Amino acid sequence: MTTIAFIGLGIMGSPMAVHLQQAGFDVVGYNPTPSRTEALVAAGGRAAGSTAEAVEGADVVAIMVPDSPDVAQVLREDGVFEKAAPGTLVIDFSSIRPDVSAELAAEARERGLRMLDAPVSGGEPGAVDATLSIMVGGDAEDVEAARGIFEAVGRTIVHVGPHGAGQTVKAANQLIVAVNIEALAEAIVFLQAYGVDLDAAVEVLGGGLAGSAVLDQKARKMLDHDFDPGFRIDLHHKDLGIVTSAAREAGVAIPAAAVVAQLMGSARANGDGGLDHSALYRGVARLSGIHHQR
């Protein structure tokens, strides 16, 4: 049985670890908040008291933490590079900077480890339903070795190129999602201003070219003012920083992304950072002189 050390059991990591345990893997989870291991333990997995403890004896190390510095800390300071046996496969499901991902993969190789960047899209529903889209960067043979793991948590698994390529594709994904959420928020505020039947409007929009996964998953949250986080504005703000910085380095113009990055920053400044990214609706409402209670 393959033993997987799963580091980071948050909104995304916890259901992913549970699915892996249910798929027949032996999963040992660690999270700084111990209560986050409860779902995994209830599914038959094990809880570790530290990253180093989880990694000891693991065949695979899976990581799902918020940002580039967090991944670097898990690998360097918290014990993965030190405790993982040579040949261990490290799969980073986090969304981080492509250059950092490539740098960490090179360091892993120097230590005799194999590493993949495998950021995911689909949010909390995708993690819960095991329908995530996984964009994988790294060596082809390592991708194939990890396919059973990916298939336990995702539906669309694509090898998109060398180390760091998965993170580059994820940055593009986050650009598209953010612009779509902002457009949806503006459309709903516009429709509200004219007193249109919003449920009917969303239904017909979803059946045409304006239809999207964003509309399907986020319109109801906006209509109900339900912004419990599936993916927090704080994290999407981080991701837009990645894509706008990378675009500058590449010399390409992404003006819509720049505007939405500023709107995401405004949402954080107004105290909405812990809310779901559908709460961009609140920013459009504020700009329109409409004020809702959370």
100: domain CATH number is 3.40.50.720
Q: Are residues 251 and 149 in the same domain?
A: no
Contact 276, 233 (CB under 8 A): yes
Q: 113, 135, 162 — which closes off a domain?
A: 162
Q: Which domain holds residue 183?
A: 169-287
Catalytic center residues = 170
pLDDT digits 0-9 by tens, 146-172:
999 999 999 999 999 999 999 999 999
Q: Are residues 155 and 237 in the same domain?
A: no
Q: Are residues 78 and 189 in the same domain?
A: no
| Distance from C-alpha of 283 to C-alpha of 156, rounded to nearest angstrom | 32
pTM: 0.93
Q: How far is CA 145 from the centre of its chain?
A: 22
The structural domain count of the chain equals: 2
Strands 3-7 and 26-30: parallel
Q: Are residues 158 and 29 in the same domain?
A: yes
pLDDT digits 0-9 by tens, 87-144:
999 999 999 999 999 999 999 999 999 999 999 999 999 999 999 999 999 999 999 9
- For 157, phi and psi rounded to 5 degrees? -125, 115
247: domain CATH number is 1.10.1040.10
| Distance from C-alpha of 13 to C-alpha of 11, rounded to nearest angstrom | 6
Tell me, yes or no, whether 293 lies in a domain.
no
Tell me, yes or no, whether 39 lies in a domain.
yes
